[in-house]
């Protein structure tokens, strides 16, 4: 049995500029972190050469085209040269639809496992691009490229999305102690609702595709904030980072009326009134997790828990998508 794991991610600034509808015009930039919450894919040869695919459902396809799960289907059609049957099982530390990039982590893990069986290696960049081709080019998901790249690479990185579609990145911290310090300045709180990112991302894509000046100006400002966020992270000026999150969240809410809700606003206000310097919804919006920056981590955690909210402790994952068992 082979087990592959791929980290989920936190977008730390500049999110939304990784969509082609924006970076193709102006170039994108963002900062992202991989965290120690993972998507796992297990691959195991079957005794009778049957194909078995397990996720929230179970499939027993005779051909790849019969597979209902789109990422399993297209990844197997593209990357499986395996003549014998396989049992493929996916499981996760955190459910999908929570704004942590789970679909792209799933895709990078699956391709990594299939390529291992093919006795072929991919660099992190090649793996990320392969996942982008499945999700964006083949399945036409209205998503950006950050999730695939941070999942493949791991750590905390700044990404440059060039107009020609190429992507460059720099690691921000190399020392494990620095990664721990970052984790100790942030709190992740579940809003209690999942959401499908595509509705909000389609709105953004359509407006950017048609050169909507308001949307493009919003993303210009978000990109500039991403550069400031990166500077504060490099300086370990977490307080300034936290205060800047307020501006980022305000800009994000301007993009769509579906970005927030009364429940999300209530959680946000609870955090700010109890020691958080700032916060923002992670992912496309509409649900999932809120990331808060605070110097009073334990006090704020207790406050959220006493109000019946789920707090997810995390550390930054230094490693990207990797084989953890052979």
What are the extents of the domains in the chain? 2-175+318-325, 178-312
Q: Is the pLDDT of residue 41 over 90?
A: yes
Say if CB 132 and CB 40 are below 8 A apart: no
Task: Count CA atoms closer than 13 A to 222's CA, side-chain side.
Answer: 32
By CB atoms closer than 10 A (0-12, 13-18, 19+), residue 228 is middle
* C-beta atoms surrounding 165 within 10 Å: 12
Q: Which CATH number fits domain 2-175+318-325: 3.30.230.10, 3.40.50.720, 3.20.190.10, 3.30.420.590?
A: 3.30.230.10
Q: What is the pLDDT of residue 144?
A: 94
Mean of pLDDT values over 167-180: 93
Mean of pLDDT values over 18-29: 96
Say what the pTM is.
Answer: 0.94
Banded model confidence at residue 108, pLDDT cuts 50, 70, 90: very high
Q: What is the pLDDT of residue 206?
A: 67
Q: Which CATH number fits domain 178-312: 3.30.590.10, 3.40.50.2300, 3.30.70.890, 3.40.190.10?
A: 3.30.70.890
Beta bridge mates, 181 = none
Q: Is the pLDDT of residue 205 over 70?
A: no
Q: Is the pLDDT of residue 95 over 90?
A: no
Banded model confidence at residue 239, pLDDT cuts 50, 70, 90: very high
Cα–Cα dist 156/325, whole Å: 25
Q: What is the pLDDT of residue 198?
A: 54
Cα–Cα dist 6/108, whole Å: 7
Beta bridge mates, 43 = 2, 88
Q: Is the pLDDT of residue 286 over 90?
A: no
In percent, how much of the chain has pLDDT > 70?
Answer: 94
3-state secondary structure of 285: coil
């Amino acid at each position: 049995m082979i087990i592959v794991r791929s980290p989920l991610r936190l977008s730390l600034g500049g999110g939304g500029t990784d969509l082609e509808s924006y970076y193709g015009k102006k170039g994108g930039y963002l900062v992202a972190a991989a965290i120690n919450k993972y998507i796992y894919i297990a691959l195991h040869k079957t005794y009778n050469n049957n194909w078995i695919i397990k996720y929230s459902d179970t499939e027993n396809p005779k051909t790849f085209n019969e597979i209902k799960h789109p990422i399993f289907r297209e990844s197997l059609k593209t990357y499986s040269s395996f003549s014998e049957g396989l049992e493929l099982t996916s499981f996760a530390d955190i459910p999908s639809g929570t704004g942590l990039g789970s679909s792209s982590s799933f895709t990078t893990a699956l391709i990594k496992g299939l390529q291992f069986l093919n006795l072929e290696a991919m660099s992190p960049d090649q793996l990320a691009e392969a996942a982008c081709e499945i999700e964006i080019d083949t399945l036409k998901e209205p998503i950006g490229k950050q999730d695939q790249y941070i999942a493949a690479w791991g750590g905390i990185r700044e990404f440059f999305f060039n107009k020609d579609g190429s992507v460059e990145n720099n690691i921000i911290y190399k020392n494990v102690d620095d990664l721990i310090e970052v984790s100790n300045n942030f709190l992740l709180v579940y809003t209690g609702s999942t959401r499908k990112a595509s509705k909000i991302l389609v709105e953004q894509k359509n407006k950017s595709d048609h050169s909507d000046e308001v949307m493009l100006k919003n993303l210009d400002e978000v990109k500039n904030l991403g550069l400031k966020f990166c500077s504060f992270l490099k300086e370990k000026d977490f307080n300034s980072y936290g205060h800047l999150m307020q501006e980022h969240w305000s800009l994000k809410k301007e993009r769509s009326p579906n970005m927030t809700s009364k429940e999300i606003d209530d959680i946000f206000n609870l955090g700010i009134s109890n020691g958080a310097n700032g916060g923002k919804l992670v992912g496309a919006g509409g649900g999932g997790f809120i990331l808060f920056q605070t110097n009073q981590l334990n006090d704020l955690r207790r406050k959220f828990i006493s109000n019946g909210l789920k707090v997810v402790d995390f550390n930054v994952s230094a490693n990207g998508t990797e084989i953890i068992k052979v």
